A and B are shown apart, each in its own frame.
Chain A
Amino acid sequence: MTGETVIEANGLTKKYGRAVAVDHISFNVGRGEIFGLLGPNGAGKTTTILMLLGLTEISGGDVNVLGFNPGREPLSVKRRVGYLPDTVGFYDQLSAADNLRYTARLIGFKKAEREKRIADGLARVGLTEFADKRVGTFSRGMRQRLGLAEILMKGAQIAILDEPTSGLDPHATAELLGIIRGFKEEGVSVLLSSHLLERVQSVCDRVALFSGGHIALMGSVAELGREVLGGGFVVDIEADGAGLAERLALIPGVSGVEKTGISKLRLHADRDVRPEAAAEVVAMQGRLKFLGVQEPSLDAIYTRYFENKPDEGMTVKEGARHAA
């Protein structure tokens, strides 16, 4: 986390009648951080987001967004926070620029500033040439980008993105994630929700895994990996050299060496042993062809975590269904 906190939630709770959609969750997001809310559909991600924006009543707990309470000061929050809803919609009969003009007027930008911001926003997401095209003709990926252009145009300090990559092809997803990284570079905090763990893993600084209205796990992907997958680094190495496996096994911290193919080895270690491994190969005058450490995958973490707690995992609690 870098410096100040922009979102702070403490025991945040949402009840629909007797059903609990979000159950006492606490987390905080720092400035310029990309924070992922991950979990299956109906786990309470969208409900949490709506509470942060003051778009739904908070049943219990405290939440603070940029120093404002969304329940009491929704206008101040909404002026500073950009929101891209799940499957964002626009007025199909209006052009892309006109759609943004409407929002810009609602925000209250003056005309000259409005036009400049809209042009900048559209340029940043690569939609300049489509500014005067009707949104009705846009693809899903273009709509999502237009949604991001709206957040850029707004000059938001926090961007909240609900399932930004769902339903997009790999190319469009990559583009979108690129724009999201751009947010971070400008010091904009990003809170994004997704049920597609793999796709967002690469952009998130920290993630919170949701399950049945609770946050089951929270931290950086590497931290979670150590915590859930039993820790340890897996280093893959491809190199020539007789007796290399034996030499590598002697490196301090290496607990096991496995042969995975012709001149391919896999090291299990309690730390990143790549430098030592490389030094060994070179010392043996072997030819190093590949050396890499396996990043823990969120999918693996998620599956492993809920394997151990079957009652909490994929079976969504009754009542949390509202939160889809």
Chain B
Amino acid sequence: MRREGSAFQGLGVVVLKELSDHLTSVRMRVLEWLIVLVALAALYGAIQQIKDTTAEDPFLFLRLFTTSREPLPSFVSFLSFLVPLMAIGLGFDAVNSEYNRRTMSRILAQPIYRDALMFGKFLAGLITLAISLVTLWLLVIGLGLLLIGIPPGAEEIGRSFLFLLVTIIYSGVWLALALLFSIVFRSAATAALVTLGIWLFVSFIWPVLAGAVAQIIVPLDPRYVALGLPTPGTAETEQILARLSPSTLFAEVVVAILDPTTRSLGPIYLSQLQGAVLGAPLPIGESILIAWPQTVGLIAGTIMLFVIGYVVFQRQEVRA
């Protein structure tokens, strides 16, 4: 027998309530200022660098995002670091705070399903992140126009817009992870620590560890080592392992989209490069093709984490 009514009854109400909570919270304000200040610093560095090296670059505008000037990292690196932080900051106490405030059973006694509550919380978090990122994106484009003085071409706008979309998807992965742990752990502090721990591990330790693990699975071939070349099998395994991390996937997508000269995201053989004009930019459609599998991976990761959280939440006892 089907249960009565729609699972999404009350969804809009929950989204609006959570959204207004997010947008008025002190936490959100701190995160926003952090991002804006850091982005401005990165942008300033990039513009200085671009001004110094006035090269004849057809994609000068995209350099805004990727150029770095010591000691500051580029805008993209900053974002790949701060977006997870912001998503975790918004999500780590989404569900457990309802238990701790003892509002959960009261809200669930209203004519809605749990689905609406959880979906509403995720959606509100994602909308909040999207609003912040779009604002940031407009800010960067505007400042770029003012400071460089060269209007971006249609393709540059298109590519940077794709970059924006992918960043929002990337934030969704971390939001879903934070939401999952906010369901699993009743204590918000535990949830925050575990989520941050996983983020640190996956983003900073795993890429290093992947190389070591790959060498265990596929040992280095002494012939390649003697020639000073990477062993193909080991390199491939390493890449597969590294791609388990959403940070790696995001970095690869960003490279493919913001650097039109990127032709492949994996190791390629010299034979594959025959006839290629190195350094020539690819059309935007080709770049999307290169980045597509990674993007799908990020979306799939988000859905998977959300579904696990959903199942756990549905089975949870309401009482605190």
Contact B3 A74 (CB under 8 A): yes
Contact B110 A106 (CB under 8 A): yes
Instruction: From known contacts A50-B318, A55-B318, A91-B101, infer whether A85 and B17 are also in contact, taking CB-CB under 8 Å.
Output: no
Binds A, one of B4-12, B152-160, B215-223: B4-12
Q: Which of B1, B103, B110 has the most CB of A within 10 A?
A: B110
Complex CA gap A89/B105 in Å reads 9
Contact A106 B105 (CB under 8 A): no
Contact A85 B106 (CB under 8 A): yes
Contact B108 A72 (CB under 8 A): no
Chain B hits for A88, CB < 8 A: 102, 106
Contact B109 A85 (CB under 8 A): yes
Contact A89 B109 (CB under 8 A): no
Q: Is B140 an interface residue when CB atoms closer than 8 A count as contact?
A: no
Contact A89 B102 (CB under 8 A): yes
Chain A hits for B10, CB < 8 A: 105-106, 108
Q: Is B112 an interface residue when CB atoms closer than 8 A count as contact?
A: yes
**SS of B interface (majority):** loop
B117 → chain A closest CB, angstroms = 9
As a 0/1 sequence over residues 59 to 98 of chain A, the CB contacts with chain B under 8 angstroms (1 = contact) are 0000000000000111110110111110111111100000
| Interface size band for B | 20 to 34
Q: Which of A50, A79, A106 has the most CB of B within 10 A?
A: A106
Chain A hits for B106, CB < 8 A: 83-85, 88-90, 103, 147, 150
**Which of the residues A46, A84, A102, A147 comes within 8 Å of B13, measured between beta carbons?**
A102
Instruction: From known contacts A106-B111, A147-B106, infer whether A75 and B4 are also in contact, taking CB-CB under 8 Å.
Output: yes
Contact A83 B111 (CB under 8 A): no
As a 0/1 sequence over residues 118 to 153 of chain A, the CB contacts with chain B under 8 angstroms (1 = contact) are 000000000000000000000000000001001000
Q: Is B57 an interface residue when CB atoms closer than 8 A count as contact?
A: no
Q: Which residue of A lies closest to B4 (CB)?
A: A73
Chain A hits for B111, CB < 8 A: 74-76, 78-79, 106-108
Q: Is B51 an interface residue when CB atoms closer than 8 A count as contact?
A: no
Instruction: From known contacts A50-B319, A55-B108, infer whether A105 and B102 are also in contact, taking CB-CB under 8 Å.
Output: no
Q: Is B317 an interface residue when CB atoms closer than 8 A count as contact?
A: yes
A102 → chain B closest CB, angstroms = 6
Q: Which of B9, B13, B21 has the most CB of A within 10 A?
A: B13
Chain A hits for B319, CB < 8 A: 46, 50
Chain B hits for A269, CB < 8 A: none
As a 0/1 sequence over residues 12 to 56 of chain B, the CB contacts with chain A under 8 angstroms (1 = contact) are 011001000100000000000000000000000000000000000
Chain A hits for B5, CB < 8 A: 75
Chain A hits for B107, CB < 8 A: 103, 106
As a 0/1 sequence over residues 18 to 55 of chain A, the CB contacts with chain B under 8 angstroms (1 = contact) are 00000000000000000000000000001000100101
Complex CA gap A73/B1 in Å reads 10
Contact A76 B4 (CB under 8 A): yes
Chain A hits for B112, CB < 8 A: 75, 78, 106
Contact A102 B17 (CB under 8 A): yes
Q: Which residue of B lies closest to A106 (CB)?
A: B110
Instruction: From known contacts A73-B4, A74-B3, infer whether A105 and B13 are also in contact, taking CB-CB under 8 Å.
Output: yes
Complex CA gap A87/B111 in Å reads 21
Contact B109 A55 (CB under 8 A): yes
A46 → chain B closest CB, angstroms = 6
Instruction: From known contacts A102-B17, A105-B13, A107-B111, infer whether A89 and B318 are also in contact, taking CB-CB under 8 Å.
Output: no
Complex CA gap A81/B103 in Å reads 17
Q: Which residue of B lies closest to A322 (CB)?
A: B317
**Which of the residues B3, B4, B101 comes within 8 Å of A89, measured between beta carbons?**
B101
Contact A72 B317 (CB under 8 A): no
Complex CA gap A72/B113 in Å reads 12
B209 → chain A closest CB, angstroms = 38
Q: Is A263 an interface residue when CB atoms closer than 8 A count as contact?
A: no
B residues 287-320 touching A (CB-CB < 8 Å): 317-319
Q: Is A303 an interface residue when CB atoms closer than 8 A count as contact?
A: no
Contact B109 A72 (CB under 8 A): no
Contact A55 B13 (CB under 8 A): no
Chain A hits for B3, CB < 8 A: 72-74
As a 0/1 sequence over residues 141 to 160 of chain B, the CB contacts with chain A under 8 angstroms (1 = contact) are 00000000000000000000
Complex CA gap A79/B21 in Å reads 25
Contact B105 A56 (CB under 8 A): no
Chain A hits for B102, CB < 8 A: 85, 87-89
As a 0/1 sequence over residues 90 to 119 of chain B, the CB contacts with chain A under 8 angstroms (1 = contact) are 000000000001110111111111000000
Q: Which residue of A lies closest to B117 (CB)?
A: A106
Complex CA gap A79/B111 in Å reads 5
Q: Which residue of A lies closest to B112 (CB)?
A: A106
Complex CA gap A103/B5 in Å reads 18
Instruction: From known contacts A55-B109, A78-B111, A106-B10, infer whether A91 and B103 are also in contact, taking CB-CB under 8 Å.
Output: yes
Instruction: From known contacts A72-B4, A73-B4, A83-B105, infer whether A78 and B110 are also in contact, taking CB-CB under 8 Å.
Output: yes
A242 → chain B closest CB, angstroms = 64
Complex CA gap A53/B21 in Å reads 28
B277 → chain A closest CB, angstroms = 60
Known: A81-B109, A88-B102, A107-B110. 4 other contacts (CB 8 A): A74-B3, A75-B112, A78-B109, A106-B13
Q: List 27 A-B contacts (CB under 8 A).
A: A46-B319, A56-B317, A56-B318, A73-B4, A75-B113, A76-B111, A78-B109, A82-B109, A83-B106, A85-B105, A87-B102, A88-B106, A89-B101, A89-B103, A90-B106, A91-B103, A92-B101, A102-B17, A103-B106, A105-B10, A105-B13, A105-B17, A106-B14, A106-B111, A106-B112, A107-B111, A150-B106
Report, nearest first, the 10 A-B pairs whose CB atoms are least far apart.
A89-B102, A83-B109, A106-B110, A79-B111, A85-B105, A105-B13, A75-B5, A89-B101, A89-B103, A78-B111
